Structure 1
Amino acid sequence: MKPSRRELLRAGALFAALPLGGRPATAAADITLGAVAKRSGIHFGTSIAADTLLNPAQAALYRREARLFTVDWALMFAYLRPQADQFRPNGAEAILAFAATTGVPVHGHALAWNESRPDWLMKLSKAEKRKALDRHIDETVGHFAGRLPSWNVVNEPFWPGHGRPGDFRDGPWLQAFGPGYVERAFKRAQAADPKARLVLNEAMTEAWTEDGARIRKALLRLIDTLQDAGVRLDAVGLQGHLQPGRPFDDAGFADFLHEIAERKVEIWITELDVDDSSFADDIPERDAAVAARYRDFLGAVLAVPAVTTVITWQLADSASWYDHAARELDPDAARLPRPLPFDEQFRPKPAFDAMVAAFGAATKE
């Protein structure tokens, strides 16, 4: 039965009573996010990049905590194909080799994303762009067939700010095919590896803003369109880059998840982290606020039975895209982002405790 808004808020109050500052008395060294999540029927994973493996301590953290790896950027079109005659799978191959030592499956990200567009691609004609997408999916999925059990086939299909009909994100694939590029990408991916699970991945659905509302509406419409066309859609991924500086409504977001679940697909949270830029400078206070955001969001999300998978976007603060952006903006920045469950020394933070508590409290029917 679908929990009511009141029940979700009551669950949030229960989580609010859990400690967030420091290590809980019951914590043990062998408690991991992957293990606790698995006991509740949830797959927990993290994104990983080839350079993650260069630091042995960081590699050990990822090996210990995760039961699923998402390739961070090494399978993006622009990285794989910086020139029309190049194909560079080495970064993804390094991740697969690392994962093979632990038996952790690797999730491919992402085949068709309108923002990953090298200059040479944008100079092509419409017909040439069509051939480029077909070739990319056929060759890439074919190259990894049997080794990558799942793919984000289309990433972030919507962005209202581009002003395109249906709120679709503009870019080479929309320009080449129109909105039909989504269906085409799924069908070609399935043909290239019939056993791979196929995921539609989207951003900003958790934001309680006008853009978020338009993306939620457009995403439901796209799911219906794909299913009506007979496209196999195994899961819908919702990124979960939580931005507490923007309005949010966790109970309302859970209602949206139930709408997706009615379409008989799994739901994955695929890129979870917390933007702490609106929080206090004081680190203990900021860490507690980040942990509370994880706690409240996961408390609402994991009450939805269709949510089967939770993936953070990296595990340690120093590997976060927020950290990289801050250092690029100011190499001497005194305040660096702390958006993830482990700090730059790979020590667990209050966000780790909040995630352990949320996974431990979740039950899947």
Structure 2
Amino acid sequence: MKPTRRAILQAGVMFGAMPPLGATARPRDSLGSAAARAGVTFGTSIAADTLVTPAQAALYLREAGILTVDWALIFGNLRPSADQFLTGDAEAILAFAAPSHTPVHGHALAWNESRPDWLMKLSTSELRKALDRHVDETVGHFAGRLPSWNVVNEPFWPGHGLAGDYRDGPWLRAFGPDYVVRAFQRAQAADPAGRLVLNEALAEAWTEDGARIRSGLLRLVDTLQDAGVRLDAVGLQGHLNPGQPFYDAGFADFLHQLAERKVEIWITELDIDDTAFPDDIAARDAAVAARYRDFLTAVLTVPAVTTVITWQLADSASWYVHEMLRLDADATRLPRPLPFDAAFEPKPARDAMLAAFETRRRG
């Protein structure tokens, strides 16, 4: 059952009352502390309902050095109707993170897939005003409290067959590809101190679509920089699918190309689709761990990679699990894509991540 907003806020207050966690309060072998020793910030996405389960909330706070707001700040969640601006879930997450001074990363301002029905009924001129208003009001509301934003999320999708491989949606229809520059400019104006990230999916896939997305990203970074737009980091999601072709060394070469453009590189939504792995849990967990180890070891050879964020931290919170149960409530082979299981216990994937951070530290 979905928790009420009151329960979420009460949980946020409860955890907000906990004493601040200093550097010595984090176990030396937490993912966050191990990553920090390697010069990397490790974190996880978090949803407001995480706060309702104390063991899960404590796990996320202990392991993460940064928290990404999962769905609370997506356009359709903030603005389910034109006259609403629902910030309660995001405020609960901020209240939860504040005592430990854990930074919270905003996700995401302009994403063509978040398009409530009311938005799609607007004229072109109205859509333009809606994007400007959304960026101005949202960034302005959280200025000084959210230190960074995924300003534009998933600008590319070759499957839509559009020029430049751009993803179709309201913002592309309103402005063409220039919506990307516009969103960055307005975000910077609304909070000049905020760090600005361009976030994309599937760049790590060694497929035709992945190649086109990588090419598109390099062109887009050049476009933003040529326009004088401040771009602090490029986020690459890292929803790894071992059932599809991958080439970690080639992906690392792409990261070097990005690094030449003087941007930080973040892995922003890391998890592993275990569909292609054995049903046996021990064997599957070992295969997932190996994929984490190999991917992160390759990625972390690139000095510009400064941040690694998993998309949730415990299996029970994974979007893979939620989607499977939505399609089949009686499913028994539930995905195990993350470093902690549904009981919030560590899995081999966590050890593999620790090993990759240690490899980076040793350099």
TM-score (norm 2): 0.92
Give the corresponding residue for 1:299.
297
Verify: 1:54 aligned to 2:52, yes or no. Answer: yes
**How far, CA to CA, are the matches of 1:119 and 1:211 in structure 2?**
29
Give how far 1:202 is off: 0.3
| Match of residue 223, structure 1, among 217, 221, 239 | 221
Long gaps (5+) in structure 2: 1-25
RMSD of the TM alignment (CA)?
Answer: 1.1
**How far, CA to CA, are the matches of 2:27 and 2:256 in structure 1?**
36
Give the corresponding residue for 2:199.
201
Give how far 1:364 is off: 8.9
Give the corresponding residue for 1:278.
276
**Paired residues of 2:28 and 2:34 also in contact (CA < 8 A):** no
Q: How does 1:7-18 map to 2 (within 5 A)?
A: none
Q: How many pairs were matched up?
A: 338
Give how far 1:330 is off: 1.1
**Paired residues of 1:160 and 1:169 also in contact (CA < 8 A):** yes
**How far, CA to CA, are the matches of 1:327 and 1:101 in structure 2?**
35
| Match of residue 322, structure 2, among 308, 317, 324 | 324
Against the structure 1 CA distance between its residues 29 and 195, is the aligned structure 2 distance closer, same or farther, given a 3 Å change threshold? Answer: closer
**Paired residues of 2:27 and 2:33 also in contact (CA < 8 A):** no
Runs of 4+ in structure 1 off by over 2 angstroms are none
Give the corresponding residue for 1:12.
none
**How far, CA to CA, are the matches of 1:346 and 1:363 in structure 2?**
27
Against the structure 1 CA distance between its residues 135 and 364, is the aligned structure 2 distance closer, same or farther, given a 3 Å change threshold? Answer: farther
Against the structure 1 CA distance between its residues 123 and 255, is the aligned structure 2 distance closer, same or farther, given a 3 Å change threshold? Answer: same
**How far, CA to CA, are the matches of 2:361 and 2:126 in structure 1?**
49
Percent identity over paired residues? 77
Letter in 1 for 2:80: P
**How far, CA to CA, are the matches of 1:83 and 1:266 in structure 2?**
36
| Match of residue 29, structure 2, among 31, 38, 42 | 31
Verify: 1:334 aligned to 2:332, yes or no. Answer: yes
**How far, CA to CA, are the matches of 1:201 and 1:169 in structure 2?**
13
Give the corresponding residue for 1:352.
350
Give how far 1:101 is off: 2.0
Letter in 2 for 1:310: V
SS at match of 2:90: helix
Give the corresponding residue for 2:244.
246
Against the structure 1 CA distance between its residues 30 and 307, is the aligned structure 2 distance closer, same or farther, given a 3 Å change threshold? Answer: closer
Give the corresponding residue for 2:78.
80
Letter in 2 for 1:47: S
Q: Deviations over 1:174-222 (max 9, x none)?
A: 0000000000000000000000000000000000000000000000000
Long gaps (5+) in structure 1: 1-27
**Paired residues of 1:305 and 1:364 also in contact (CA < 8 A):** no
TM-score (norm 1): 0.91
Give how far 1:363 is off: 3.3
Letter in 1 for 2:287: A
**How far, CA to CA, are the matches of 1:363 and 1:180 in structure 2?**
40
Higher relative contact order structure (alpha carbons within 8 Å, sequence separation ≥ 6)? 1
Q: Deviations over 1:11-47 (max 9, x none)?
A: xxxxxxxxxxxxxxxxx97520000000111000000
**Paired residues of 2:270 and 2:308 also in contact (CA < 8 A):** yes
